[in-house]
Amino acid sequence: MHGLVALMEIQASRLKARVNAAGEPILLLEQDRAMWDRLLIGRGLAALERAEQLGGARGPYTVQAAIAACHARALTAEATDWARIASLYEELARVAPSPIVELNRAVAVSMARGPQEGLDLVDPLMSEPALKNYHLLPSVRGDLLQKLGRMEEARVEFERAADMAQNARERKLLLERARASSVVAAELGPGL
């Protein structure tokens, strides 16, 4: 119970920073953390502490709250403890295995150990039936390819993600990322 409350409080703390004035999504690493509600974060961290004091095996809500707490404790995106988050996703994969948990784990691993390690975890998920129409899979793959300098492949993935997106604002963001990858690919020349 405390784990769920912690998760809800910490996630709610970021609501004001998740979209801009036009209602367009803002990626977590680009959010203005000064807009995060410190009162909600404090309440969430207190609930997480209560959940962890109960002892025993942590349930999925407590592990997810611990992941959210890592983000909440970091005053800047650069200060995020990605190694800890990757470790927590490994724990979450044991207590509540799912393809989406694996995708999130891949993102955390990429942030902690580099985009190639993340891509190595994402690529097997491409054949996962449960993620067949999940737009965040090609979006994550596009992001990792972009970080690796594989711009044309990244463009294709962002466009594929945009085609799957059910939300017009997410679709717009993904198409903007595809265009940006295309521009960089053109500047780098053929074969890249």
Same-domain status, 7 and 76: yes
Residues 71 and 146 in one domain: no
Domain assignment present for residue 113? The answer is no
139 in the same domain as 73 = no
Domain boundary among 16, 46, 80: 80
Task: Identify the pLDDT of residue 30.
Answer: 92
Residues 6 and 74 in one domain: yes
Looking at the fold, whether 3 and 74 belong to one and the same domain comes out as yes
Whether residues 76 and 2 share a domain: the answer is yes
Q: How far apart are CA 38 and CA 45, in angstroms?
A: 10
* Separation between Cα atoms, residue 172 and residue 134, nearest integer Å: 16
Q: What is the pLDDT of residue 107?
A: 97
In-domain check, residue 137? yes
Q: What is the pLDDT of residue 55?
A: 81
Residue 191 has pLDDT above 90, yes or no: no
Q: Does the CA dihedral 165-71-105-147 come out positive or negative?
A: positive
Any domain includes 125: no
Model pLDDT for residues 68-110, shown as the tens digit of each residue: 999 999 999 999 999 999 999 999 999 999 999 999 999 999 9
Mean pLDDT value across residues 177-181: 91
Q: At what angle do helices 115-122 and 99-113 cross, to 10 degrees?
A: 160
| 40-71 confidence digits (pLDDT tens) | 999 999 999 999 999 878 899 999 999 999 99
Say if residue 185's pLDDT is above 90: no
> What's the domain count of the chain?
2
Average the pLDDT over 8-34 and give the result. 93
**Does residue 160 lie within any of the structural domains?**
yes
Distances (CA, A) of 33 to 6, 100, 156: 18, 25, 31
Q: Do 63 and 92 touch, CB atoms closer than 8 A?
A: yes
Instruction: Please report the pLDDT score of residue 57 as a whole number.
Output: 81
In a domain, 108, yes or no: no
Which of 47, 80, 113 is the endpoint of a domain? 80
Q: Does residue 124 form part of some domain?
A: no
Q: Taking residues 2-13, what's their average pLDDT? A: 96
pLDDT of residue 192: 45
Q: How far apart are CA 52 and CA 74, in angstroms?
A: 20
Tell me, what's the pLDDT at 1? 87
Query: The domain containing residue 16 runs over which residues?
Result: 1-80
Give residues with Cβ within 8 angstroms of 69, minimum separation 6. Answer: 6, 10, 44, 45, 48
Closest CA to 120 of 106, 134, 108, 131: 106
Residue 49 lies in a domain: yes
